[in-house]
Structure 1
Amino acid sequence: MKENLVSLQTRLLFVHEERDIRHHFCENLCAEDFLLKTVPDSREALKVLKIFPADIVMLCIVGDGLALLDEIRTHIPDGIIVAVVNNDTSKEVLNAVKLGGYNYVLMPFDFGAIRELIRNRLLKTSFEGKERRKRYRFENLIGRNIKMLDVYQKVNDVAVANTTVLITGETGTGKELVAEAIHSRSARKSGPLIRVNCAAFTETLINSELFGYEKGAFSGAMALKKGCFELADNGTILLDEIGDIPLQTQTCLLRLLDSGSFQRVGGVKTLKTNSRIICATNLDLWHMVQEKLFREDLFYRINVVSIHMPPLRERKSDIPLLARYFLKKYCGQIGKDISHIPDSTMEMLHRYDWPGNVRELANVIEQAVVFCKRKELALHNLPLKVRETSLPKAFILNLASRSLPDAASALIQNVLAETGWNMKQAAEKLDIARGTLYSKIKKYGIEKPRSGD
């Protein structure tokens, strides 16, 4: 029996400006083979891809269609992209499609041929995808955005070397996970990975923590203590928040990087360590160098290879992937059965800017799972700070100056306009039943604008 690669888990996005053609396409493919969405133009396609990570995108090549092919590829780098062309499409356009590495199908559609084409491509990518997915997920690093693919490639390249690495990025982006991935893919993976949060120690304690101390080195030093560099011998040491170490310790660290040697606090014997050093920071170290807060020679010594972790707001296409991962994780931990994140909830997650990055997203999903009483995460399960971003700030401020009925009416009118008076979508965005929405439209005397108004 043939493997059924095309299934209801296969997400297909179809882009065509003519409504009848979109309807015809749905009738022939949706119920049988795919989880299918259709949109009329490129603007809507890019918007949908943010919350609907399609496995396959089929789009009509008209106007900016050729340029859109490349843009879509950045959203679904491991997806299948198929151009829809007419019999009168020029040879130049067809050649451009082929040169770009895209498949194409002719109209009118031969749905049997389309299924076969997609099946063959899925069969091919199911093997290729095993290698791709290795690049898309390193240990607990998750993401398919082009910026994350660059991180994965750098991790792969640097893991086999013994080079010092500097990982930069905002708090909550996953810098420690990058260090773990480098260690686990290196020849040192059987050795220890020692983590040191440099910001957690006072100036007097940081040297003792890193280099250890001899018995009697200071009051309270009742016995010899090995430091983190000794403990990390034949392994890896992660110096997190490297920008917080004092200048005196920076001098000791520079010596260790240059010679591999150090002395315990209160000791005279020179010790050696065979440990790989990875540093991480959320600070601008070069700015600190200019302000004489960080040694310039140490900066160059630790910045042999730099890996920057992008903030979540710069890779929002990964939010559905991350949100579903955290949903599954916390449902397992808390013991709940929540199987779905609706598009309306996912869109709200996408609109928020995530100043706390992936760590904040994880916390939001965990909180939502705790309070969720249904089989899917509803809008009201999200924290207020996230829900507030679903409307423009100016609109929210305008609502605040109105009476409650006026504010409710304005909110409903705004959502109806945004969804094109699609009652199902509007009710989902407002997190109310459709019947309730109809009642409120009648209660507030809201009328649908006539075309041309």
Structure 2
Amino acid sequence: MTFRILVADDEKNIRSGLAKSLEMDGYEVVQAEDGQEALRQMHKTEIDLILADLRMPKLPGDKLLKKVVSAYPAIPVIILTGHGTVDNAVEAMRDGAYDFVTKPVNLERLGLLVKRALSRRELARKHQELEAEISRLGKQKLGAEILGKSTIMHHVFELLKQVAPTKASVLITGESGTGKELVANAIHDQSPRNKAPLVKVHCAALSESLLETELFGHEKGAFTGAVNQRRGRFELADRGTIFLDEIGEINQSTQIKILRVLQEKSFERVGGESTISVDVRIIAATNRNLKEEVVAGRFREDLYYRLNVVNIHIPPLRERPEDIPLLAARFLKEFASENKREILGLEPKAAMALRSYSWPGNVRELRNIIESAVVMSKYSYLGPDDLPNYVTSRGNENDIRIKPGTPMTESEKLIIRANLNMFGGNKSRTSEALGIGRKTLHRKIKEYGLEAELDESSVSP
């Protein structure tokens, strides 16, 4: 794309000379003889960067700067100043100017400043595009925390929308940190039961005896310390939804009781004789392979099939790198606001490192890393130095996980993506490393839908 630069200076020769120099560097240039004309030009056309003389009639550069910072905060402003007004230019930088140059202008230095400032402008544009994408995806009403535009996440969203209005039990599978609880939230929110409670039980956090009491409640005197009657989570979830996280951790005795609730919609409290009837939808989640647990005799087969009426599998983050810019942008914005930090985005190298990392901790790990980087960074844009060494190290860029049974086409896609990431998107070096022709690489990039990933070289909130 061609950047458009506005040059505002009341001296025609300087204005024209700067414009000619910038045009030779490939930029489109708009000229203005004073600050008021500069504002008029900005209202008429999109401007990417402003060069403004500090002393101009009608509206001087410092006042123009304040108006631009207020109305167009993403547009960088470089101040032009004489030697006698350097102190004023330094003050303008405190007011939001990107930098200043003294007259007579060193065109080489100015060219470097312009290039650097426009790279920040491009990051700001990426920010706007990501904001729009996040807003568009948010209108899907799948829960504010669920975000993704990858093909595999689109399949998850479609399945979620289809199953949410029903009464079917749902088993959510996926590695730790992929967002299984968020999917459970979305299913409940989009169901006819959303006016009733969504009760959550983290099964792995409770001992066997405590879990049974937690789920089904107990009567007064049922055991030592049971001084009062207590309702369990199934009772509290009546007419609503219960979410049983890490269902694979429960023992056989509790499995039988949950199976009964699914079959008969009733149970007894611990130490009680009265049968309690409930209308509860069960959503369960696990990071285990329950089929293997059934074969090993640790999980009841009948309960497995009762829970697994609909299975929603949440893919690990490493299998959907195209979602990382959106997730990073959302987390960055959230933590920048929460911690009152002026963090505007990620530098391209940091963004590339995030996409190249294998993310064993999935979305939860990404969230924690972005929070730490936002808190500790001293700059407006997060760079590679703000990320942990294990994320930015070159070794992680070559970390390709291909499970046995993965189709050849998917394996090839993973290998091509990893090599493109390692060489910074350079197709010549990638094709050479892979031992294939450049035309073949182009065809496979298009075939596997990797073009968008190559275009996303920065992440902003």
Aligned residues: 287
Matched, 1:310 2:329: no
Higher CA-based Rg: 2
Q: Measure, in 2, the Cα distance between the counterparts of 1:193 and 1:369.
A: 32
Correspondence list, 1:144-293, <5 A = 144-293=149-298
Are residue 329 (structure 1) and residue 334 (structure 2) matched?
Answer: yes
Q: In the TM superposition, what is the alpha-carbon distance from 1:384 to its structure 2 partner?
A: 1.2
SS at match of 1:138: coil
What do the CA deviations read for 1:398-434 (whole angstroms, capped 9, x no partner)?
Answer: xxxxxxxxxxxxxxxxx998698xxxxxxxxxxxxxx
TM-score (norm 1): 0.59
CA–CA distance in structure 2, aligned partners of residues 276 and 195 of structure 1: 12
- CA deviations over 1:250-280 (Å, ceiling 9, x no partner): 0111111001000000001000111111000
Q: Deviations over 1:28-78 (max 9, x none)?
A: 89x97699xxxxxxxxxxxxxxxxxxxxxxxxxxxxxxxxxxxxxxxxxxx
2: CA distance, partners of 1:318 / 1:332: 22
CA deviation digits over 1:212-271, x for unaligned, max 9? Answer: 000000111100000000010111100000000100010111111001000000001000
Work out the CA distance in 1 between the residues paired with 2:213 and 2:313. 30
Cα distance between partner residues in 2 of 1:347 and 1:27: 27
User: Aligned partners of 1:155, 1:391: CA distance in 2, in Å?
Assistant: 33
Separation (CA, whole Å) in 1 of partners of 2:182 and 2:368? 17
SS at structure 1 position matched to 2:152: helix
Is the contact made by 1:285 and 1:299 (CA closer than 8 Å) also made in structure 2? yes
Mapped partners of 2:252, 2:227: distance in 1: 27
Percent identity between matched residues is: 45
Q: Tell me the distance in 1 between the aligned counterparts of 2:422 and 2:215.
A: 60
Structure 2: gaps (5+ residues): 5-22, 30-41, 49-131, 400-420, 427-461
* Counterpart contact for 2:257–2:267, Cα < 8 Å: yes
Is the Cα contact below 8 Å between 2:357 and 2:396 reproduced in 1?
no
* Offset of residue 133 of structure 1: 5.0
Alignment CA distance shift 1:384-1:147 (3 Å): same
Shift of 1:339: 0.6
List alignment gaps of at least 5 residues for structure 1: 1-6, 9-22, 36-125, 395-414, 421-453
Match of 2:360 in 1: 355
Detail structure 1 runs of 4+ shifted over 3 Å in the superposition. 26-29, 31-35, 128-137, 389-394, 415-420
Work out the CA distance in 2 between the residues paired with 1:195 and 1:385. 34
| Aligned counterparts, 1:78-93, within 5 A | none
- Evaluate the alpha carbon distance shift between residue 129 and residue 356 of structure 1 in structure 2; reply closer, same or farther with a 3 A threshold: closer
Opposite residue 261 of structure 2, the aligned amino acid is: L
Secondary structure of the equivalent of 1:363?
Answer: helix
Query: Structure 1 34/354 Cα, relative in aligned 2: closer, same or farther at 3 Å?
Result: farther
Equivalent position of 1:364 in the other structure: 369
Cα distance change, pair 418–361 in 1 and its aligned pair in 2 (3 A): closer
1:262-311 C-alpha deviation (Å, 9 max, x unpaired): 00000010001111110000000000000000000000000000000010
Q: Within 1, Cα distance between the matches of 2:279 and 2:138? A: 32
**Distance in 2 of aligned mates of 1:328 and 1:175:** 23
Q: Distance in 1 between matches of 2:329 and 2:135?
A: 20
Aligned-residue CA RMSD (Å):
3.1
Contact 2:170 2:311 in 1 (8 A): yes
Change (3 A) 1:282 1:252: same
